[in-house]
Each structure stands twice: as structure tokens, then as C-alpha cells.
Structure 1
Amino acid sequence: MSKNAFELRLSLEQETLLTIKKRSEEKEEANHREQQQQQQQQHHHHHHQSAHNDDGDDDNDDQSCLFRNSIP
């Protein structure tokens, strides 16, 4: 592998890790809010999916999923 490609991959992975970290923090916050909501309304089941994906950057969501799957 050329040094350039290696560095590019490295920075990509770092970015991805940061993104994943940020997302998991967001998810924890969302989960916390959700739990509070669920106590009020038990029957709302698919609420979290639409709320999580409807943040205006769907392509970003897809990308971080792809990266997450490709990291060994």
C-alpha cells in the first residue's frame, strides 16, 4: 500500500471513529429522552428510528454505517 493511501485511510478511520463517538453520544442522549417519553406513552414503538434518521443528513447516516461495517 502506498504511503499516501495509508495516510488517507488512517485519517478516514479517525474521522469515522470521531463520527461514531459523536453519534453514540447523541444516541445516548436520545435514548435518555426516549426513556422519559416511553414512560409517558408506552405504545409509541418506532418513534426512535424516525427521530434518529430525520436529522437532515441521511447520507451521513448511511456513510457511518458503511464505515462501521468495514472496520475490522
Structure 2
Amino acid sequence: MPRFAVSAWDYDEPPVPRPAHEEWIDQLTVLQVLARHGDQEAEAQARAWLARDPAARTLWDTVAGVCGNTADGR
């Protein structure tokens, strides 16, 4: 009997609310990738953002952990 992977997002109602503006997640992730690859402007923007936004810091740390970059010092 085959088994199918089911995501929580496959249902009509997600189990937890999604952010009202998901664009900031994409923007922060792009900054993280660019900074990781040596873009100094992206790194400066990320540092400023992370210093003032605890939710951004949490997301940054989560992405770093998932991607294996837990030693990220920003």
C-alpha cells in the first residue's frame, strides 16, 4: 500500500496562521543568501534589520539552522 506525504498546508485551513505579509520572509531570506555569499551591502541591511526586529532574528536563525549555517554570527 503506497504512503503519501501530506503537508499541513494541503488542507483548506492551515493549522497555524500565516504571516499577513509573507513578502518580508522572502526579502529576509534573499538577504541571508546574498550575505552568506559575500554581499556586504546585503549583510549590512540584514544586520540593521535583525537588530530592530525579533521576528526577523527568529526567522534568520531558523533558516540558518535548516541550511546548516548555525555558526552564523549576524
Q: Radius of gyration: which is bigger?
A: 1
Q: With a CA cutoff of 8 Å and minimum separation of 6, indicate the structure with the bigger relative contact order.
A: 1
**Fold-level match, TM-score > 0.5?**
no
Question: TM-score, length-normalised on structure 1?
Answer: 0.35
| Higher fraction of helix | 1
Question: TM-score, length-normalised on structure 2?
Answer: 0.34
